[in-house]
């Protein structure tokens, strides 16, 4: 029998709600989500690691990953750039998620341009689906992808959070 993957789950209060942060024993970020979507996060973990393939525990101390994400929310926008990530997903999803990390902070890109960037210009819908399946929100910045007409399109955490994140990164955020 294979030992389950030991994961730590931390809760971080942010200006846009409580964030759940799941890190493995090596300090690699495995998933993030919002506490109002905790069931979705558990489903993701079960899909990618199996029902008995992981064990969630509370850590004894705050991880470097959680400190970096907290610093991002406090205004150090580059704090999340070097956080190591690892997750399941298809090779195509992995390719899209890697491309998301190349979108500069404060910038946005359309689904079509993202598809072209990964050399799959006709895969706009597939890119959108992969973007929507991103298990590591904020750090793998799916919120930076917008509609071709500049509109804010879906975000797993809700459009208000997406709007806040984009304003935070562009320096146009208003106080809540």
Active site residues: 142
Q: Give the per-residue SS3 of the chain.
A: CCCCEEEEEEEEEECCEEEEEEEECCCCEEEEEEHHHHHHHHHHHHHHHCCCCEEEECCCCCCHHHHHHHHHHCCCCCCCCCCCECCCCCHHHHHHHHHHCCCCCCCCEEHHHHHHHCCCCCCHHHHHHHHHCCCECCCCCHHHEECCCCCCCCCCCCHHHHHHHHHHHHCCCCCC
Distance CA 34, CA 161 (A): 10
CA angle 132, 134, 137 (to 5 degrees): 105
């Amino acid at each position: 029998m294979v030992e389950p993957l030991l994961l730590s789950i931390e809760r971080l209060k942010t200006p846009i709600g409580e964030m759940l942060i799941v890190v493995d024993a090596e300090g690699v970020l495995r998933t993030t989500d919002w506490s109002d979507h905790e069931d979705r996060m558990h489903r993701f973990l079960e899909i990618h690691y199996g029902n008995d393939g992981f064990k969630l525990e509370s850590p004894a101390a705050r991880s470097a990953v959680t400190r970096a994400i907290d610093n991002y929310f406090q205004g150090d926008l580059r704090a999340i750039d070097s956080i190591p990530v690892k997750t399941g997903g298809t090779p195509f999803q992995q390719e899209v998620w890697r491309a998301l990390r190349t979108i500069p902070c404060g910038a946005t890109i359309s689904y079509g341009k993202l598809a072209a960037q990964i050399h799959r210009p006709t895969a706009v819908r597939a890119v959108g689906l992969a973007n929507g399946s991103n298990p590591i929100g904020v750090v793998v910045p799916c919120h930076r992808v917008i509609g071709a007409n500049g509109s804010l399109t879906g975000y797993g955490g809700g459009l208000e959070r997406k709007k806040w994140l984009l304003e935070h990164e562009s320096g146009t955020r208003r106080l809540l």
